[in-house]
Amino acid sequence: MATVLDALKGVNAYPIPLRTLVETAEGRGLSLTQETTKDFLKGKDFNLAVADLLLWLSLAPNITQGGQSYSFTDEQRQQLRNRANALYAEFEPENAAQKPIYGYKGSRL
């Protein structure tokens, strides 16, 4: 069986720092050493932790580590944000409600 740490690392091949994984799991009340089950992987807390990591990945820098490069295009970053927002909307619908954005648009007020 895989642990929560293994499952969170499997979200993406990008080398997410252990500190980020620990903070994400603790923020959602998860233990990294806990064994996972099918029901657990479909649960609210785990999926919200995945959404947090996807959002983190959408902002992660492009890096080269040990001769291996990890980079995201702008389109891939947008897809990560969209997937994170979909998980937030599914598991926290009360917090994911879109608020209107107001601002100056155009050449006249």
Domain of residue 13 covers 4-91
d(CA 66, CA 58) in angstroms, rounded, equals 22
d(CA 94, CA 72) in angstroms, rounded, equals 30
What is the structure's pLDDT at 66? 84
33: in domain: yes
What is the structure's pLDDT at 97? 54
Mean per-residue pLDDT, 7-19: 94
96: in domain: no
Does position 36 have pLDDT exceeding 70, yes or no? yes
What is the structure's pLDDT at 93? 81
Residue 66: left if φ>0, alpha if ψ -120 to 50, beta else—which one? left
Does position 53 have pLDDT exceeding 60, yes or no? yes
Host H or E run for residue 79? helix 74-91
67: in domain: yes
Contact 1, 36 (CB under 8 A): yes
Percent of the chain whose pLDDT exceeds 90 = 79
25: in domain: yes
